[in-house]
């Protein structure tokens, strides 16, 4: 089967009767979701960094004891090692609440809007931008990958 690499895949073409304003609005909603996804990545980084810091703090407590400073070590051990970062929560609990709440609901709403307005198609704004910006007919500027990719 021959693939027309000069035309975008059907899922990247605007459905009939969909206006520029609708594509723009859905594109802005998707952009907002992408920003939330980026924030989620930072939340996971925060989670991992705080976990690593707590383990490092435990090592520091051990070294303080070995260096002959048990009072300092005890204060850190009892006050900071294993401490909640927010009342009643470690960072894994923040991640779980975010994922189960805001993030999941935002994704559901974004998908529902796409399904309602553009037949569920993703990245239409970017697909149209690609069509407008690429050099048609030039290698490296194809609308889509070749067969088997």
65 inside domain: yes
pTM for the whole structure: 0.86
Number of domains in the chain: 1
134 inside domain: no
Strand partners, 89: 86
Domain residues for the domain of 29 are 17-123
pLDDT at site 2: 66
Per-residue pLDDT tens for 31-83?
999 999 999 999 999 999 999 999 999 999 999 999 999 999 999 999 999 99
Joined together, the tokens standing for residue 86 give 């927010």
114 inside domain: yes
- Give yes or no for residue 149 having a pLDDT over 90: no
87 inside domain: yes
148: confidence class by pLDDT, cuts 50, 70, 90: confident
Per-residue pLDDT tens for 95-116?
999 999 999 999 999 999 999 9
23 inside domain: yes
């Amino acid at each position: 089967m021959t693939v027309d690499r000069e035309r975008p895949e059907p899922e990247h073409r605007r459905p009939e009767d969909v206006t520029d304003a609708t594509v723009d609005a859905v594109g802005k909603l998707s952009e907002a979701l992408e920003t939330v996804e980026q924030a989620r990545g930072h939340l996971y980084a925060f989670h991992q960094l705080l976990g690593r810091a707590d383990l490092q703090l435990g090592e520091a407590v051990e070294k303080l004891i070995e260096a002959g400073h048990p009072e300092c070590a005890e204060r850190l051990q009892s006050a900071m090692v294993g401490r909640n970062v927010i009342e009643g929560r470690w960072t894994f609990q923040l991640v779980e609440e975010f994922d189960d709440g805001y993030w999941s609901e935002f994704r559901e709403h974004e998908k529902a809007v796409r399904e309602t307005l553009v037949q569920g198609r993703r990245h239409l704004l970017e697909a149209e931008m690609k069509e407008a910006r690429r050099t048609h007919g030039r290698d490296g500027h194809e609308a889509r990958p070749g067969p088997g990719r």
